[in-house]
Structure 1
Amino acid sequence: MAEAQAQKLDVLRIDRAARPRRKLPRRWPLWVGLLLILALAVTLLGTNRVPSVQVAEVREARPGEQQTELTATGYVSSRRRSVIAPQIPGRLVSVEVDEGDAVKQGQVLARLDERDARVIEARAQADLQAATQRLVSTRATAARAKQDLARAEQLAKAQVITPASLQAAQAAARAMSAEVRLAVAQRVAAERAAEAARLQLTHTVVRAPFQGTVVRKLADEGAVLAPAAIEQQNVGGIVELVDLSALEVEAEVSEEQLPRIQKDQPALVFLDAYPDQTFRAQVRSVRPTIDRAKATATVNVQFESIPPGVLPDMGARVAFLKEELPPDALEREDATLRVLSSSVVKDGGQSLVWVVRDGRLVRQPVRVTQKVGDEVVLAEGPPPGTQVVVSPEAKLRAGRKVKVQTEGG
């Protein structure tokens, strides 16, 4: 009985060893394909990436570079430059000049409404006349009081009048003398008031304090002006006047370089507006103060002769020289091209530079004659201002598109 039940249980038992095993799918070819596609995409992206290159410009050597002690930048300014404003408040009636006009010292620049000033001047004249008449009348009264005193003294000696009457005459004479002094003082005050009124009237006419050129017109007819001018904000200015015969360059020199600057030291000025011209100059003065924020001092460099066409606030570069240049040094036509020596590479015995033109690389052969500092002199090469790659990599190819990166960035 027990054996029969055991056999039945054996029949019901599951044979796990006899169950067929499922085959796992082979997915590794799919993963390999994905990895290959990813590697190909990375390769394509690296190939199409635009490389960034650092560039420098081919420049033309300027006169006096061998004698240059140091260089500094600055701006053209004038020793005489002023915002012309009225000395009294008032309404602007007319402006007699325009921008660009050359004016002489004392020339009329503008006129203010003078009606109020004329009323004040007429009243002051009337007060002066009244004070004058008051003084004349007081002096006449004082003269009579003096005569009365003399008569009273004679009568007192003859004992005709009492001492009290004599004292009254003396007091009256002293009082009139005081009245005369008061009248004189009042007349002097009236004269000063009349002078002030006349001066106020003359201040309605604004004149040029010095000879110069009108560079800006700051107000038009009808404006109500106050007698003040604040830098960068016009409150009462009518015009800005600049003496173009007193132009100079204000150059900023670092404080550690100041010992290399001396008064009357020769210099050359290069203006951004006239890159092909060089102007002789010399150091006029060093401003006796240091800009704490920039650690620089201002050096005033005056032109040997004021060049035509130069205007205030033009950008300038100053080369301070070790010694004076010969008279014909600036007229020589031997300017040479220079470029950073790290821009020139050798390729098969030939010197060349990589020029960036329209965002793409171009091979440009050059002929180097000598090395000066960190630059080389080119006898043949691209024109001034051409951008060339600094320290080019060997993998650069002609026609490849590149992104220009400045030397500071």
Structure 2
Amino acid sequence: MAEAQAQRLAVLKIDRTARPRRKLLRRWPLWVGLAVVLALVVGMAVVGRAPGVRVAEVREARPGEQQTELSAAGYVSSRRRSVIAPQVAGRLVEVAVDEGDAVEKGQVLARLDDRDARVMAARSRAEVRAASQRLAAARATATRARNDLGRAEQLARAQVVTRASLEEAQAMASASSAEEQAAAAQLEAAREAARAADLQLSHTVVRAPFAGTVVRKLADEGAVLAPAAIEQENIGGIVELVDLGALEVEAEVSEEQLPRLELGQPALVFLDAYPDQAFVAKVRSVRPAIDRSKATADVNVAFEEIPPGVLPDMGARVAFLKEAVPAEALAKQDAALRVPASAVVQNGGESVVWVVQDGKVKRQPVRVAEKVGDEVALAQGPEPGTQVVVAPNGSLRPGRKVKVRPEGG
């Protein structure tokens, strides 16, 4: 009886170990659905993200590229360029020129307060006059003493005067002669002092040491200036003067490239201000010193004819040539267009580049003329300045958005 009752109770007992399993079985479609949605979201984010690309600009080939031995960057300088400062200290009372003025050699640039210098010059001239009078008096005394000595010698020969009187006359003549010489020396010293005072007075007028153009005005009236500065540039300067007729390009060339250059070697200069023009030049000199910090030497390149509008400190690039380029060749390009060789890829049997425009890429066919170094010359392709993708990968599709990476990125 008890056993039968226990069996009936066992049937009514709930099996709690099976309950969680039934719940998990009921929820598995929900977990699968969430995983699918998450995968779709991640996939769409990856697909929709704009890939980063490196770009280069299509450029026109410069004249003389085929003959270029090496190239170097530099800037326009002048063989004659100076900060003009006074030779004496003083207060500036006049600046007679302004920036941009052309001046001749010896032209007055500025004047200093000359009142003290004029006083010193007048005093020196007065001392010259005084010394001249002293010399005249000494000469008169010396002349009288010499005459007295002559009479004393005659009287001594006639035994009219004593030996002592003769010796006294000789002493007076010798002393007066010495005084005459001293007065003459004092006059000469006074004259030299007067010349020095006049020179100091002339230094209050600052003149141009050479013909040139005023490129900077460094001081105005009222400034108190010291003599020409040695340790710091422009301290005490009034104007900066440049000879625009002696312009050249100073380029930095690495020391291992120097053996490839020689004096008189032909070159072409390309100025940043006039990128579409080439100017004929040649190597004028190589500075006989190496910049230890940069391992470069300065090479001076002289223009064959100084082009109008060129100014000091303009940026420039110099192409050192294997041989001179004829003048008529400067009017045309060696090849129409240049792009990095890695930008040109094969697609469907034709050469193409990927052009970046408005943040999207498009495929554009090109016609390759020849390979030049790490570039290719294009006989047909995008306009100069167009951005093309460098080393494109297979993920690019027409119309896809891209993100341009900076250089080195």
Could you state the TM-score of these two structures normalised by the residue count of structure 1?
Answer: 0.88
**Could you tell me which amino acid in structure 2 is paired with residue 218 of structure 1?**
L
**Could you tell me which amino acid in structure 2 is paired with residue 55 of structure 1?**
V
Structure 1 pair 232–340 and aligned structure 2 pair: CA distance change class (3 A): farther
**Could you tell me which amino acid in structure 2 is paired with residue 261 of structure 1?**
L
Shift of 1:24: 5.5
Q: Which residue of 2 aligns with 1:317?
A: 317
Q: Which residue of 2 aligns with 1:392?
A: 392
Note if 1:347 corresponds to 2:347: yes
Secondary structure of residue in 2 paired with 1:237: coil
Cα deviation code 1:368-396 (max 9, x no counterpart): 23222222222222211222111001101
Q: Which residue of 2 aligns with 1:290?
A: 290
Q: Which residue of 2 aligns with 1:222?
A: 222
Cα deviation code 1:91-133 (max 9, x no counterpart): 1111111111111111111111221211111111001101100
Q: Which residue of 1 aligns with 2:264?
A: 264
Secondary structure of residue in 1 paired with 2:142: helix
Shift of 1:20: 7.5
In 1, the alpha carbon distance for the partners of 2:271 and 2:16 equals 91
Shift of 1:166: 2.8
Q: Could you tell me which runs of 5 or more consecutive residues in structure 2 were left unpaired when the two chains were aligned.
A: 1-12
1:83·1:229 contact (CA, 8 Å) conserved in 2? no
Note if 1:148 corresponds to 2:130: no
Note if 1:301 corresponds to 2:306: no
Moved more, 388-397 or 159-168: 159-168
Residue correspondences, number: 392
In 2, the alpha carbon distance for the partners of 1:157 and 1:32 equals 155
In 2, the alpha carbon distance for the partners of 1:220 and 1:171 equals 64
2:66·2:334 contact (CA, 8 Å) conserved in 1? no
CA RMSD between the two structures: 2.5
**Could you tell me which amino acid in structure 2 is paired with residue 328 of structure 1?**
E
2:335·2:378 contact (CA, 8 Å) conserved in 1? no
2:61·2:334 contact (CA, 8 Å) conserved in 1? no
Cα deviation code 1:290-320 (max 9, x no counterpart): 1111111111111111110111111111111
Q: Which residue of 2 aligns with 1:236?
A: 236
Shift of 1:190: 0.6
In 2, the alpha carbon distance for the partners of 1:35 and 1:354 equals 37
In 1, the alpha carbon distance for the partners of 2:81 and 2:191 equals 36
In 2, the alpha carbon distance for the partners of 1:24 and 1:186 equals 129
Cα deviation code 1:197-238 (max 9, x no counterpart): 111222222111111111111111111111213577421111
Q: Which residue of 1 aligns with 2:91?
A: 91
Could you state the TM-score of these two structures normalised by the residue count of structure 2?
Answer: 0.88
1:121·1:201 contact (CA, 8 Å) conserved in 2? yes
Cα deviation code 1:13-34 (max 9, x no counterpart): xxxxx99866658679588777
Q: Which residue of 2 aligns with 1:134?
A: 134
Q: Which residue of 1 aligns with 2:207?
A: 207
In 1, the alpha carbon distance for the partners of 2:57 and 2:348 equals 25
Secondary structure of residue in 1 paired with 2:136: helix
In 2, the alpha carbon distance for the partners of 1:38 and 1:188 equals 108
In 1, the alpha carbon distance for the partners of 2:284 and 2:257 equals 17
In 2, the alpha carbon distance for the partners of 1:325 and 1:31 equals 76
Structure 1 pair 42–163 and aligned structure 2 pair: CA distance change class (3 A): farther
1:56·1:407 contact (CA, 8 Å) conserved in 2? no
Moved more, 310-319 or 323-332: 323-332
**Could you tell me which amino acid in structure 2 is paired with residue 82 of structure 1?**
S
In 2, the alpha carbon distance for the partners of 1:355 and 1:390 equals 10
In 2, the alpha carbon distance for the partners of 1:31 and 1:229 equals 84
Cα deviation code 1:12-60 (max 9, x no counterpart): xxxxxx9986665867958877766765564454345443211111110
**Could you tell me which amino acid in structure 1 is paired with residue 163 of structure 2?**
P
Moved more, 326-335 or 233-242: 326-335
Structure 1 pair 358–132 and aligned structure 2 pair: CA distance change class (3 A): farther
Moved more, 30-39 or 348-357: 30-39
Shift of 1:337: 0.4
1:77·1:312 contact (CA, 8 Å) conserved in 2? yes
Q: Could you tell me which runs of 5 or more consecutive residues in structure 1 were left unpaired when the two chains were aligned.
A: 1-17
Q: Which residue of 2 aligns with 1:11?
A: none
Q: Which residue of 1 aligns with 2:249?
A: 249
Determine what percentage of the aligned residue pairs are the same residue: 71
Cα deviation code 1:53-76 (max 9, x no counterpart): 111111101111111111111111
